[in-house]
Structure 1
Amino acid sequence: MDQSPTLAAPRHRAAINFIFVTVMLDMLAFGIIIPVLPHLIVQLIGGSISQAAVWAGAFVTLFMLMQFIFSPVQGALSDRFGRRTVILISSFGLGIDFIVMALAPVLWLLFVGRAVSGICAASFSTANAYIADIVPKEKRAAAFGTLGAAFGIGFIVGPALGGFLGHLHIRLPFWVAAGLSLINFCYGYFVLPESLPKEKRSPRFDWRHANPFGAVVLLRRYPQVFGLAAVYFLINLAQFSLNSTYVLYTDYRYGWGPQAVGYTLGLVGLCSGLVQAVLVRRLMPKLGERRMILTGLALCIVGYIFFGFASLPWVFLLGIPFLSLGGLAGPPAQAMMTHQVDPHEQGRLQGALSSLASLAGIFAPALFSNLFALFISDHAPVQHLPGAAFVLAAALLLIAGLIAIKVTRHVPAAAPLAADEIVPTLPFNDFPSESIPHAPPEQTP
């Protein structure tokens, strides 16, 4: 493996371990509050589910607006000063912010806390840049897939634990999330080495590139990257149908409370984990990057159709495996983009992608939450379709698939790779991969 000169073999392994743990703990911290945040909003405003849906959408929009503004700044800072500092500041800031939200007695303070979370939540994109620093090109798809392991473990345990803790006290998940983030900061302070040597860093911090619009200029310099970034944007836009409406939709349609929501989200994480642990690295050498992207998008469309039209809970649950198989699309698409970008621009690339996800998050929550509220109201244009948000998500992924077909049409078929060429060096490589749950890194908090 072509390792960064700053990382000797033992420290390289420790660094990979930390990135895995960092993403897992951050996802666990975010996952814990998923089942309870909408219900806390209902409690603070004393309103109905439809009113809470609008407020929940506003919370997600605020979070993503902060991400849209600050992700390019974080990416440019990591290119200039290294990944380690950005990751550590992120973890510490999130820990303090979760404490503020745990204590928030009024809605506006919870709203401010969510804004700070959006500013601090840099570890996801910076972790991706870290992986691009130290993993060679031919192994990045598998490495990005394995980062999905962290999301999977966090997303399996987080919502289930959050549902259980929220049943005990609605504020308790925020305290546990704060503890996890601060533990992660302490672990990283003593363990994490730098991945980007000084000679490969950007020579200066440039505000022209450290803004969401300047970041798009970077994408336009690479035509295939720009096209795949459009696919990435649409995938994230569709994803927000879940972020914005899942909790309230399942409450409205099936009467699920925090515990049921937590357990089903845990099932989503488990299924996604199996996809990432078993299928990504096994199918990658057989299908190649292009076919795996298209296969993942097609299966994800089927999952959203199940979610949108399921009138019974067991039919809704049938959509989870298909939605999880959509995780096949993310790692190869992300790997294809990193192949074409210089080392000193990997942070900016990941920041630009985070900005696109954030841009989707600015508009999508209001779109999907208001669409949900409309279709459960007396003024619904089509009766008995409370899952209209998921139907729209399926349509967006269909458009993404058509774009992906066009921008990857000249990608050559992948040559078969040996097993050791597609399995990154990660903490659990000594164990059977089938025993480890994984999930795709496409969930924006």
Structure 2
Amino acid sequence: MDLTGLSHLFVTVFLSGFASFTVVPSITDVTMLALCPGQDECSLAIYLTGCQQAIIGLGAMIITPVIGNLSDVYGRKELLTLPMTLSILPLVILAYSRTTSFFYAYFFIRTLTAMVGEGSINCLALAYVADKVPDGQRASAFGILAGVGSAAFVCGTLAARFLSTAATFQVAAVMSMIAAVYLRVFLKESIPNGDGLRQPMLNGTPHADLEKTTTQAFKRIPSIGDLICLMKRSRTFSQATVVSFFNGLAEGGIIASLLYFLKARFHFNKNQYADLLLICGVAGTISQLLFMPMLAPAIGEEKLLSIGLFMICSNVFLNSISWSVWVPYAATVFSIFTVFVQPSIRSIVSKQVGPTEQGKSQGCISGISSLANIVSPLIFSPLTALFLSEEAPFHFPGFSIMCIGFATMIAFIQSIMIWGIPSSHKTDNKQTTEA
């Protein structure tokens, strides 16, 4: 295991995550203030957020698998540069001003840049780790990577708790710039040039050679047929895609609904959002950095996946029936286990393909999650707006949250069927050796 290379990746992911997560507690208030000043319930904000999420999901579904596959050709570092650079732009806009006109400019630019970066940074970081870490240690390494992301979440949320709204976006913009610079200066490519890596895209490649290698690369861009081929090759991979879709459906629904639900139900503000997210982040960080590296080798990522999904179900159902302001805080105890889900899915998938297909496989799973993020706001945003309004067919403000829990339950049931299934990649290697 190349600890030096991974440490630089972890720093890059931390800095980028810090920039992204710092603005999360503030963005709901900024949106409400720009669109519906002085109100605690705003259907326009819910619909606009859901629409943005669907558009980003559509773009990410198409672009993330492409970037993942191109990283198998040009390298992880070269492709990471693009989304990390683009992520700076929307933060700079709100760092300058948060008036209605600047908010709409942010909304437009954020939508475009997130189509490239929403899933790409995580996808490429996972592929980088898979390049550096052998199969037996991969689940623990993915857990550590997720733990670094959770640590960034904690630090970013803690910073947001004590910074003003203006300073929050200014700090986020600066940290995003530092992340991009650190990436270019310190991170080393994980795929050696001798193992099939093309001439880096950002170097001075002659035009004829660049055109030739780019054409060859785009011929290898994953299509729906490639995804179907991967699913046919491995039953485990196909089951993981089903789990990933329904889990993504639930994650997208939570993003589109929960903060607005808490705003309308308990009048949450930036600081309360930050406190809630901070508790979740601390619990998740401890779990991913300490518990998952110990539990993954002992019980396997398949069981960890099921445990995590079951705990997400419990968390969501409890939030949906919140009867007091302390209930959402109490529900955060499940975060100790819910963070197992993403690293477990990614580890299971990585073991179903060879070393030259890590970018493609991770990109395909990210594409499936992005597809879920297209569907999710189309379902849950109108449902949330309806049940938070006075026109609700019956009084149950958390009804949309409960429906999100049912999507997670489907993912949990499917995850149980993955238990005990061997890695098809290992099977292929064994057959090759015997031949």
Q: TM-score range by the shorter chain?
A: 0.7 to 0.9
Deviations 1:73-125, CA, capped at 9 Å, x for gaps: 21122111001111123222212342134446344422221122331342211
The 2-side partners of 1:162 and 1:362 are apart by 28
- Equivalent position of 2:24 in the other structure: 34
Say whether residues 1:188 and 2:178 are aligned partners.
Answer: no
The 2-side partners of 1:223 and 1:251 are apart by 42
Relative distance call for 1:326 and 1:411 in structure 2 (3 A) is farther
Say whether residues 1:65 and 2:58 are aligned partners.
Answer: yes
User: Aligned to 1:404, which of 390, 398, 415?
Assistant: 415
Output aligned runs, 1:45-444, within 5 Å. Answer: 45-46=35-36, 48-103=41-96, 105-114=101-110, 115-121=112-118, 122-165=120-163, 168-169=164-165, 171-201=166-196, 205-207=216-218, 209-210=220-221, 213-220=224-231, 221-383=233-395, 385-411=396-422
RMSD: 2.2
**The 10-residue stretch of structure 1 (26-35 or 400-409) with the greater mean CA deviation from structure 2:** 400-409
Relative distance call for 1:13 and 1:409 in structure 2 (3 A) is closer
Relative distance call for 1:381 and 1:36 in structure 2 (3 A) is same
- 2:189 aligns to what SS in structure 1? coil
The 1-side partners of 2:57 and 2:192 are apart by 31
List gaps (5 residues or longer) in structure 1. Answer: 2-11, 413-445
Deviations 1:353-391, CA, capped at 9 Å, x for gaps: 1111111111212322221111112232331x2222321
Count, aligned residues: 398
- Return the letter of the residue paired with 2:124: T
Cα deviation, residue 215, structure 1: 5.0
Relative distance call for 1:273 and 1:199 in structure 2 (3 A) is same
Cα deviation, residue 33, structure 1: 1.6
Deviations 1:321-341, CA, capped at 9 Å, x for gaps: 114412223323321211121
Cα deviation, residue 208, structure 1: 5.5
- 2:87 aligns to what SS in structure 1? helix
- Return the letter of the residue paired with 2:116: I
Cα deviation, residue 193, structure 1: 0.7
Deviations 1:190-244, CA, capped at 9 Å, x for gaps: 2111101234347864445535635523532322112112111211211123211
The 2-side partners of 1:310 and 1:346 are apart by 41
- Return the letter of the residue paired with 1:57: G
- 2:326 aligns to what SS in structure 1? helix
- Return the letter of the residue paired with 2:142: F
Relative distance call for 1:397 and 1:202 in structure 2 (3 A) is farther
The 1-side partners of 2:132 and 2:103 are apart by 43
Deviations 1:159-216, CA, capped at 9 Å, x for gaps: 3323433xx23x4333222211110111122211110123434786444553563552
- Equivalent position of 2:33 in the other structure: 43
TM (norm. structure 2) is: 0.85
TM (norm. structure 1) is: 0.83
CA contact (8 A) 1:71 1:351 kept: yes
Relative distance call for 1:110 and 1:96 in structure 2 (3 A) is closer
CA contact (8 A) 2:311 2:338 kept: yes
List gaps (5 residues or longer) in structure 2. Answer: 199-212, 424-435
- 1:313 aligns to what SS in structure 2? coil
Give identity over the alignment, percent.
Answer: 25
CA contact (8 A) 2:19 2:172 kept: yes
- Equivalent position of 2:210 in the other structure: none
The 1-side partners of 2:114 and 2:4 are apart by 27
Relative distance call for 1:228 and 1:177 in structure 2 (3 A) is same
- 1:35 aligns to what SS in structure 2? helix
CA contact (8 A) 2:302 2:348 kept: no
The 2-side partners of 1:106 and 1:148 are apart by 33
- Return the letter of the residue paired with 2:33: Q
Cα deviation, residue 410, structure 1: 3.5
CA contact (8 A) 2:258 2:401 kept: no
- Return the letter of the residue paired with 1:306: L
CA contact (8 A) 1:81 1:201 kept: no
- Return the letter of the residue paired with 1:363: V
Deviations 1:121-140, CA, capped at 9 Å, x for gaps: 42211000000001000000
**The 10-residue stretch of structure 1 (211-220 or 302-311) with the greater mean CA deviation from structure 2:** 211-220
The 2-side partners of 1:396 and 1:234 are apart by 6
CA contact (8 A) 1:41 1:52 kept: yes
Cα deviation, residue 399, structure 1: 1.0
Relative distance call for 1:343 and 1:390 in structure 2 (3 A) is same
- Equivalent position of 1:423 in the other structure: none
- Return the letter of the residue paired with 2:271: Q
Relative distance call for 1:237 and 1:201 in structure 2 (3 A) is farther
